[in-house]
Amino acid sequence: MKKNTLLFTLLLAVFTVFGQFESSSSSEIMSTKKAIDTKSQNKDAKGNIKSVITAPWSTDFADNVIPAGWGNFDVDGDGYFWETTEINAGVYALISESFRMDIYDALTPDNYIVTAKVDVSALSNPVMSWKVMAINPTTYAEQYSIYISTTGNTVADFTDAPVFNETLAEGGVELDRSISLAGYGDEIWVAFRHHDCTDQFFMAIPELAFEEGEPSQDVTVTFNVNMNNVDIAVFDPANDIVTIAGSFTDPAWQEPTLTDLTFSDDDENGIYSLTVPLTTNGSYEYKYFVNAGFAGGEWDGDMNRSFDFTGESLVLNDVFGEKPVGIQNISSNKVKAYPNPTSGIFTLDLEDQSNVKIFNIAGQVVYNNFINKQTSIDLSHVGTGIYIINIVNAHYSTQIKIIKK
């Protein structure tokens, strides 16, 4: 419970910066909640909301109601949902609270607000843009994530990692944000989730738009494979060609040829490269080959390399013949990470002293340390999503995935 002095500071700050803030009475709050609950006549037989947003489209919530056909979910069960309110004279917004003034107590929100189905088929480079703010200039660490679904509008439909996450680092200031929606198809649902924060005040979204973005730049995946240590009987640079096959082609796993998807070594350093365009987010598998056909693979069998594509250009650096995750016969009891998923702190069990690096999905290092056997690792400072734990020691190297929820 906050002290009375904090209450005075909060009230003074909000009234000074934003003007006369009109709090809803209990009846108004209940009315708002009723307005934002989805009505049965707006759902199909499967429970999905039937309303459709046709892009380009935008709203500033000036009518002080959540748009028709949106879903509103109070996952934490405290009875408080997303709602609309006037945050300044004539300025309205979607809000979700982590501190409730009428009960004068902290909340621990896990609230989803889900758009109706969004049809972006008319946009060549669809973008979602929004304004966001923590309303209080002094307690502003509100965390939210954005999810995209192509299957429906219930919480259960948003199982993939968020496409955007942030904890607001300042308050009382509108911040402009945007993400690309390319690669998700023509029809999507978008969820804003306010979560994993408490005792701040509330976050607000005054504006939201689905619109045409700037002309898209080429998004590519570059494969670099080091051939320097390959036996000349397997690969002779003077006579042989490096090729590739995988699930990233259309159709998937096309048999390697000497004309398509062939690598080059322009600077003659033994590292062969190929860059290909990619537009659809997802997980992909691939394997390097020498010359045409599937006979010249890096190793026998159907276990493959893999990568996750999230809409940003990616560079993969490999060594021909070095088996990646899951291909080395590493005993499952050599590496354990638990709990997985984790809310922040997890335990990593190893048999040997190892260098441990943890990467986010964009390839950025978020943790790097030498650890000896069992160690507790804290990822509380990073956003939710999938992370790759890379483990290297004198006996083996491997990778495992961990999910930060």
Phi, psi (degrees; rounded to nearest 5) at 373: 60, -125
Q: Please give the pLDDT value at position 268.
A: 87
Answer yes or no: is 185 within a domain: yes
CATH number at residue 344: 2.60.40.3080
Q: Are residues 251 and 393 in the same domain?
A: no
Q: How far apart, in whole angstroms, are the C-alpha atoms of residue 370 and residue 190?
A: 40
> Domain span at residue 379?
335-404
User: What type of residue is 12?
Assistant: L
Residue 311 placed within a domain: yes
pLDDT of residue 396: 64
Contacts of 61 (CB under 8 A, 6+ apart): 84, 92, 93, 94, 206, 207
Query: What pLDDT sits at residue 395?
Result: 65
Q: What is the 3-state secondary structure (H, E, C) of the chain?
A: CCCHHHHHHHHHHHHHHHCCCCCCCHHHHHHHHHHHCCCHHHECCCCCECCEEECCEEECCCCCCCCCCCEEEECCCCCCCCEEEEEECCEEEEEEECEECCCCEECCCEEEEECCEEECCCCCCEEEEEEEEECCCCCCCCEEEEEEECCCCCHHHCCCCCCEEEECCCECCCEEEEEECCCCCCEEEEEEEEECCCCCCEEEEEEEEEEECCCCCCCEEEEEEECCCCCCCCCCCCCCCEEEEECCCCCCCCCCCCCCCECECCCCCCEEEEEEECCCCEEEEEEEEECCCHHHECCCCCCCEEEEECCCCEEEEEECCCCCCCCCCCCCCCEEEECCCECCEEEEEECCCEEEEEECCCCCEEEEEEECCCEEEECCCCCCEEEEEEEECCCCEEEEEEEEC
pLDDT computed for residue 6 by the predictor? 42
CA atoms of 45 and 344, how far apart (whole Å): 39
Going across the sheet that includes 220-226, the strands are 271-277, 220-226, 314-319
Q: How many CB atoms lie within 10 A of CB 25?
A: 10
Distance CA 35, CA 192 (A): 18
User: Where among 212, 239, 263 does a domain terminate?
Assistant: 212
Query: Is 303 contained in some domain?
Result: yes
pLDDT of residue 405: 83
Does 84 share its domain with 185? yes
Inside any domain, residue 12: yes
53 lies in the same domain as 110: yes
Query: Do 92 and 207 belong together in one domain?
Result: yes
> Looking at residue 217, what is its pLDDT?
53
* Residues in the chain, total: 405
d(CA 189, CA 341): 24
Cα 184 to chain centroid distance, Å, stands at: 13
State whether 286 and 315 are in the same domain. yes
Please check whether residue 397 lies inside any domain of the structure: yes
> In terms of domains, do 169 and 281 share one?
no
**Given 319, 351, 386, which residue is the final one in a domain?**
319
pLDDT at site 264: 93
The answer on 195 and 112 residing in a single domain is: yes
324 in any annotated domain? no
Residues 149 and 64 in one domain: yes
- Please tell me whether residues 200 and 234 are part of one structural domain: no
Question: Does residue 205 lie within any of the structural domains?
Answer: yes
**Domain limit, last residue, from 160, 184, 212:** 212
Question: Which residue, among 132, 42, 25, 34, has the nearest Cα to 83 in the 3D structure?
Answer: 34
CA angle 387, 391, 395 (to 5 degrees): 160
User: 95 and 204 share a domain?
Assistant: yes
Asked if the structure places residue 371 within a domain, the reply is yes
Number of domains in the chain: 3
Asked if the peptide bond before residue 162 counts as cis, ω within 30 degrees of 0, the response is no
Instruction: Let me know whether 299 and 381 are in one domain.
Output: no
**Are 175 and 57 part of one and the same domain?**
yes
pTM recorded for the entire structure: 0.47
**Nearest of 264, 266, 263, 180 to residue 215 by alpha carbon:** 180
pLDDT 10s digit of each residue in the chain, 405 long?
443 444 444 444 444 434 433 333 333 333 333 333 333 334 444 455 458 999 999 999 999 999 999 999 999 999 999 999 999 889 999 999 999 988 999 999 999 999 999 999 999 889 999 999 999 888 999 999 999 999 999 999 998 889 898 999 889 999 999 888 988 899 999 999 999 999 999 999 999 999 998 754 567 888 999 999 899 999 999 999 999 999 898 888 888 988 888 999 988 889 999 999 887 777 888 999 999 998 899 988 767 888 888 777 788 888 898 876 543 434 445 678 889 888 889 999 887 777 788 877 666 778 888 887 788 999 988 888 878 787 776 666 677 778 888
CATH assignment of the domain containing 251: 2.60.40.10
